[in-house]
């Protein structure tokens, strides 16, 4: 059965969303990449067929992106989209050869994860004054939750009261590709969670969503990002002040204190150890600084 380029693209996107269980944000990014690519191929070469796409055309598109000052990291990500798509085309029989097989990714510089130092996090959580009432208590706990658990923004936003097990002192998190994991917490944090829930019930009765807006509705990404950014600005001058920075902080400080890499991998919900190893670079950089400061021959 002959399939048009549009039909193959839609089947591919359905495949990564429902079978591979990619997040909706990843699926949207893949769709955008493919739409941009096909628009370029049509405008430059007048081609609408999959079989007419060559590795020369793909390389031309990548060069055009670089000419537009798109970062090598973003270009590499777009190439990853094409690789996944054309592998799918081969598997589905829509193509006999893979035009991406001869393309190599542009070199990207390794960026160390940005994190907040332990002393600054202590000052933020113990010394900074938060607004009175529910909103201040909620904002403080959002920051502490990111720092204590290493959750992703989407995971925190979708957290429900029933996900907190006070008996076992664990939080159940639904991560990427609907993969569940348990994150432990200590007795002191258990008291913090109970205090928050008591305060929340006086404001909003009968809502299972753990974090709520001031109006009692479900939190949304922009609001959480704004809260984190606002309070991190009080203790750090780093350009990046996002929830992911607190996730980086969680992982980096665990490794600094001697946690095993595999344990940190499980806590973060990473699919592979390679994703977690990036945090070891920060630890190594810290060791280098200590060595230079302390060793008489350094």
Residues designated catalytic: 152, 176, 244, 247, 270, 279
Q: Do the Cβ atoms of 164 and 171 come closer than 8 Å?
A: yes
Q: Please count the CA atoms within 13 angstroms of the CA of 204 that sit on its side-chain side.
A: 20
Name which of 174, 182, 247, 181 is nearest 21 in CA terms: 174
Q: Which of 2, 12, 6, 23 is nearest to 179 (CA)?
A: 23
Number of helices and strands in the chain (H, E): 12, 3
Element (H, E) at 174: strand 170-174
Q: CA-CA-CA-CA torsion for 50, 54, 59, 64, nearest 10 degrees?
A: -50
Return phi, psi of residue 209, to 5°: -65, 130
In sequence order, what are the beta bridge partners of 48? none
Distance CA 69, CA 65 (A): 7
Record the tokens describing residue 235, joined without a space.
């203790």
Nearest-angstrom CA–CA distance, 172 and 154: 13
C-alpha–C-alpha distance, residues 149 and 3, integer Å? 46
Q: Who contacts 197 (Cβ-Cβ below 8 Å, separation ≥6)?
A: 161
Distance separating alpha carbons of residues 135 and 216, to the nearest angstrom: 11
């Amino acid at each position: 059965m002959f399939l048009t380029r549009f039909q193959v693209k839609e089947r591919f996107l359905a495949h990564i969303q429902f079978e591979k269980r990619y997040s909706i944000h990843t699926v949207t990014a893949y769709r955008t990449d493919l739409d941009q690519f096909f628009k370029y191929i049509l405008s430059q070469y007048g081609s609408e067929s999959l079989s007419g796409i060559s590795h020369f055309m793909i390389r031309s598109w990548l060069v055009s992106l670089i000419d537009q000052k798109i970062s090598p990291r973003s270009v590499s990500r777009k190439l990853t989209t094409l690789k996944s798509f054309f592998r799918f085309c081969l598997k589905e029989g829509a193509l006999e050869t893979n035009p991406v097989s001869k393309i190599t990714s542009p070199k990207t510089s390794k960026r160390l994860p940005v994190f907040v130092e332990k002393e600054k996090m202590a000052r933020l959580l113990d010394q900074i004054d938060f607004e009175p009432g529910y909103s201040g208590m909620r904002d403080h706990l959002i920051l502490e939750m990111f720092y204590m658990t290493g959750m992703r923004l989407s995971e925190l936003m979708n957290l429900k009261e029933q996900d907190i097990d006070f008996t076992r002192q664990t939080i159940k998190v639904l991560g990427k590709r609907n993969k569940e994991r348990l994150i432990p917490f200590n007795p002191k944090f258990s008291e913090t969670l109970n205090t928050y829930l008591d305060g929340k019930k006086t404001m909003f009765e009968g809502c299972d969503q753990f974090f709520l807006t001031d109006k009692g509705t479900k939190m949304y990404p922009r609001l959480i990002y704004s809260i984190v950014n606002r309070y991190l600005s009080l203790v750090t001058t780093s350009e990046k002040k996002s929830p992911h920075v607190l996730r980086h902080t969680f992982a980096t400080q665990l490794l600094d204190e001697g946690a095993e890499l595999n344990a940190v991998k499980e806590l973060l919900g990473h699919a592979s150890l390679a994703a977690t190893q990036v945090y070891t670079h920060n630890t190594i950089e810290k060791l280098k600084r200590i060595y230079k400061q302390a060793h008489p021959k350094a």
